[in-house]
Amino acid sequence: MDISSLKARLDAARYVCGDGLATTLLVALKLGRPLLIEGAAGVGKTEIAKVMAGALDRELVRLQCYEGLDESKALYEWNYQKQLLSIQVRMNRQDPDELTRSLFSDEYLLERPLLRSIRSEEPVVLLIDEIDKADEEFEAFLLELLSEMQVTIPEVGTMRAKSVPFVVLTSNRARPLSEALRRRCAYLYIPYPDVEKEVAIIRAKLPSAGDRLAVQVAQAVHDLRENDAILKKPSIAETLDWVSALEALGISDLDREAARRTLGFVLKSSEDMEAALACQEAPDHQHCGACGHAGQP
């Protein structure tokens, strides 16, 4: 696979991808290196793993990180109830040592996403989503997998990958990640798209949207993100939601009234909505995402 064929597959999945991003994806894939993607919430980090799974015709295995996540939820767990039942049934019929060994076999092993990804016969795309939400201890636990493509289970030993997954880690930068983790990964930073790219995304995802509306919404969203009073910046998904809402109402021109009626599809808190509307009412107001006809007084 080369860059042009990868871009063609991403285009088919309606993912707008530049040469730089495509190059990083291709090289990380060919080298078998995990890819760490950072950026603000909603810029399309998770979407990359999803479209790569489709482009490579691979299963997507997702591990959603959160505070307190440990190996029993991420790697493996023993089926204790089944083990206890087996002990009760077989304790008088089987040699104790043999029974003990049998209790730690595949029959009683519950695969979690990390183990499932390296034991798969066919390569998968492993998404470790929002790694910055997990504890530092869990981050350290991941290092063996990221560097050696293997995991260690105390009762079984080291288990090496049957096939090398394409590993994508995402981070919203809620906390700093360790240098040890960063060294093991290729790196990609995704900013919010500029107006031109966001228009391209709208056209790719919502081809029924008119060109005028696509440009107006993209510019309005850009203005909202630039407004320091807006605390939760609109994501790309919320841009698409806004366009869809306007289309559902038969609106092809984003004027002030249309923006006011549908603002809840792009801003998701009362404080942000009030800030956008207050910007419109300011004496020195020029333009903002709440007013429609972005860029015009």
- The per-residue DSSP string of 250-287 comes to T--S--HHHHHHHGGGT--SHHHHHHHHHHHHSTT---
Residue with the larger pLDDT of the pair 24 and 80: 24
Mean pLDDT within 241-261: 94
Residue-wise pLDDT for 17-42, tens only, equals: 888 999 999 999 999 999 999 999 99
What is the predicted pLDDT for the residue at 269?
Answer: 94
Q: What is the mean pLDDT of residues 200-215?
A: 95
pLDDT at 92 over 70: no
Is pLDDT of 51 > 70?
Answer: yes
When comparing pLDDT for 201 and 89, which is higher? Answer: 201
Q: Mean pLDDT over residues 248-266, rounded? A: 93
Q: Is the pLDDT of residue 200 over 80?
A: yes
Q: Which of 126, 119, 184 is nearest to 158 (CA)?
A: 119
- Among 22-31, 205-214, 271-280, the range scoring the smallest mean pLDDT is 271-280
Provide the 3-class DSSP secondary structure of residue 61: strand
- Residue 234 CB contacts under 8 Å (≥ 6 apart), including other chains: 42, 221, 224, 225, 242, 266, 267, 289
Which pLDDT band, with edges at 50, 70 and 90, does 297 fall under? very low
pLDDT at 1: 82
Paired tokens of 266: 């792009």
Contact between 78 and 110 under an 8 Å Cβ cutoff? The reply is yes
More confident residue, 4 or 285: 4
Instruction: Give the Cα separation of 54 and 48 in Å (integer).
Output: 10
Distances (CA, A) of 29 to 23, 52, 143, 263: 10, 10, 18, 40
pTM: predicted TM-score of the whole model, two decimal places: 0.85
pLDDT at position 218 is 97
